[in-house]
Structure 1
Amino acid sequence: MAAGAASSTSGIFASICLLQSAMAATCGALMMFYLNEIAVVGHGQETARKLQGSTPHDQLLIQTSDSFAGFLLFAIGLLLFMVSFVKDRDFQAFFAKGCILLHGAMALWRLFFERRLEDLARVWPRQIVGDLVLGLSWVLFLVYSWREKYD
């Protein structure tokens, strides 16, 4: 394989990683610090109020849980940023396959569990589409890298 093809594949891998890193880190930071505002924008005023809990104990528990989820999402964004600089083609393919599995598992989780929640009934189809699009970006990377490998 030519050196240009290897750098082309690495460039695409880095671009996908950096794009998804920016999305994850931004969403994670917003979840940690502006959860109520983001919930109103994403779900509407009434649903956001329902998702906050009804008792002070529930509200604290839900807020702590959501902040921790935001922190984990921010950490995933940082991890994706670090991984974007890896040049090993075998690792890139392995990482892409793992990301496809994670996005697929998340879509299945939303399909089988989140759709049962009445308060999230309007949101889960959009989220499944988002999960599938993010997974598709990794599938396209694998197809492109396989095409470069076998040409």
Structure 2
Amino acid sequence: MAPPSSPPLPPSSVFFTICLLHSVVATTCGALMMFYLNELSVFGHGPETAKMLQGSTPHDQLLIQISDSFAGLLLFAVGFLLFMVSFVKDRDFQSFFAKGCIILHIFMALWRIYFERRLEDLARDWPRQLVGDIVLSLSWLFFLVYSWREKYD
């Protein structure tokens, strides 16, 4: 006779909260990138760097604007996806998703360390963005530690 199995653990509200916070950040940044890119560039990089990032010819400016708008749309879609994922109740999926997000943020941090810091126009911004990647990654790590504690207490 098999021993009785323990009831499944209830879903974590921490996962829901972290997903919603990340979703709000991603959708807001994506919408700002799509519709207010120039203002966002001036705010984030300063007027001189923002002017350099716009391109020098009308053709370059159009390509850069379209590229940045698509990047904003992708970020908005990621935020919407995070909103949908926040309602998933499966603990195993939540853990798997959090681990994937940690890996994604680590790769973004490595990208900034190895490539973005070499760009003259963005060289002064990469440390601040690196701190953001680390903080976002730590929020998912916090969730994993919290869920591990819930599971084994």
The alignment's TM-score, normalised by the length of structure 2, stands at 0.93
1:1-151 aligned within 5 A: 6-7=10-11, 10-151=12-153
Following superposition, which runs of at least 4 residues in structure 1 exceed 3 angstroms of deviation? none
DSSP-derived class of the 2:42 partner: helix
Identity score, percent: 76
RMSD, aligned α-carbons: 1.3
Which amino acid is the alignment partner of residue 76 of structure 2?
A: F
SS of alignment partner, residue 54 of structure 1: coil
Structure 1 residue 45 displacement after superposition: 0.3
Q: CA deviation at 1:115?
A: 0.3
Which structure 1 segments of 5+ residues have no match? none
2-side partners of 1:106 and 1:52: how far apart?
A: 23
Question: TM-score, structure 1 length as denominator?
Answer: 0.95
CA-to-aligned-CA distance 1:20-68 (integer Å, 9 cap, x gap): 0000000000000000000000000000000000011111110000000
SS class of match (1:6): coil
SS in 2 for 1:87: coil
Superposed displacement of residue 2, structure 1 = 7.8
Q: What amino acid maps onto 1:103 in structure 2?
A: H
Quote the offset at 1:6 in angstroms: 2.6
Q: Could you say which structure has the higher helix fraction?
A: 1
Tell me how far 1:78 sits from its aligned partner. Answer: 0.1
| Secondary structure class of the residue paired with 2:79 | helix
What letter is aligned with 1:41? F
Structure 2 residue ranges without an equivalent (≥5):
1-5
Q: Name the larger-Rg structure.
A: 2
